[in-house]
Amino acid sequence: MITMDSFDFKGKKALVRVDLNVPQDANGKVTDDTRARAIVRTVNKITGDGGSAILMSHLGRPKGKVNPAMSLKPIADHLSGLLGKPVLFAMDCTGPDAKAKSGALQPGEVLVLENLRFHPEEEAGDEAFSKSLSELGDVYVNDAFGTAHRAHASTTIVAKFFPTVKLFGYLMQAEIDSVGKVLGNPQRPMTAIVGGSKVSSKIEVLQNLIGKCDELIIGGGMANTFVKAMGGQTGASLVEEDLLETARSIIAEAKAKGVKLHIPTDAVVADAFAETANTDQCEANAVPDGWMALDIGPKSVEAFRAAVLRSKTLLWNGPMGVFEMKPFQQGTVAIAQSVAEATSHGAFSLVGGGDSVAAVNQFGLAEDQLREHGRWGDAGILGGQGAAGDRCDSRVDPIISQLTWLSG
């Protein structure tokens, strides 16, 4: 693979797949610019060489239709502040406006294309759509680690139209190096923390982690499915009934392979999915009718914290509860603090997924606490093909082919 440091972008238009899928408030103001800040080094290298950067990204899930609320224009404006220069904006990612503005781009300039997912062809991996994107640039750079596992038009497919001039951006390369460090020969014990709302979105993650880690912590809404699979009463909690048997098989496999599995034993419950709801604490397997588990309880916090602090390698993806609501954020706060503490004591930490990253930022546990020993940021583990369209190098490829770690 060509590297960023070895490539001279002078006179080149670089088509760069980035991840600008950042959270915004009701007025379109960016509330967490971690992902935007992560691409600055790559963009500055391109423009500093005397090249120009054409940035393409998705935002949200517009389902193949134009949705003004999901326009990348406000994010392009925010990026301008991060780069310290004007950032141009194209009203579409293909078509006359995109072609005209990319064609007129001068050395040192940056152009952001409109939301790729306004076109259904993006998620479908349409080859003709990929070709139209490829015509905007001379060289392809993938710096969108969080989406690189998806065979979308702007990731895997577009790369085939750049047979000799495609490369990873600085963020991509750093994250792949980190994954190699974590999974290639990790320091033991290794603990994986998997949270979020649904088992269905992380089945492959859970199945592949069994046997690769020493301890596995399951939290968030997805834990309810495991609790019910073990015969617990879950009240009105989110439970994926069709995945109860899958949960049982994961539990059995963890036992068979000697992986210590941590499932919440108590919970913070509410009588409604609202910040103003009545709250209480109870055993995780005895949630009253009409109540729902929205965070892990204090006993679970202590057990999970102990597992994190005895670990030398940590992977964290997904919150422990509905951390956006103050009454249900203590479990996620505790995990964030524990990961930061373990890292400060010498553990290697890989934090992945938009929610986990947002939690680290929200609770004031930023990169200064994780920088010395760990990789922190919008990390993830790729599955399938490498992001530049070909298999990755021989050192990283065996790791990537074994594990899918889904971001966001």
Tens-digit pLDDT profile for residues 114-137: 999 999 999 999 999 999 999 999
Q: What residue ranges define each of the domains in the chain, with the CATH number in brackets?
A: 13-168 (3.40.50.1260), 176-400 (3.40.50.1260)
240-252 residue pLDDT tens? 999 999 999 999 9
Q: Which residues contact 361 (CB under 8 A, 6 or more apart)?
A: 32, 34
Residue 378 CA: distances (Å) to CA of 179, 199, 282, 287: 12, 21, 34, 34
How many CA atoms within 13 Å lie on the side-chain side of 30? 22
Specify the pLDDT at position 203.
81
**Residue 111 predicted with pLDDT over 90:** yes
167-189 residue pLDDT tens? 999 988 887 777 766 667 788 99
The torsion angle over the Cα atoms of residues 67, 72, 75 and 81, rounded to 10 degrees, is -140
Mean pLDDT of 276-282: 97
Residue entry with tokens 């479990």: 331
Nearest CA-CA partner of 111 in 11, 30, 14, 4? 14
Q: Which residues contact 157 (CB under 8 A, 6 or more apart)?
A: 125, 126, 127, 130, 151, 389
DSSP string covering 301-335: HHHHHHHHHT-SEEEEES-SS-TTSGGG-HHHHHH
Mean pLDDT of 46-69: 95
317-330 residue pLDDT tens? 889 999 889 999 99
Residue type, 393: D
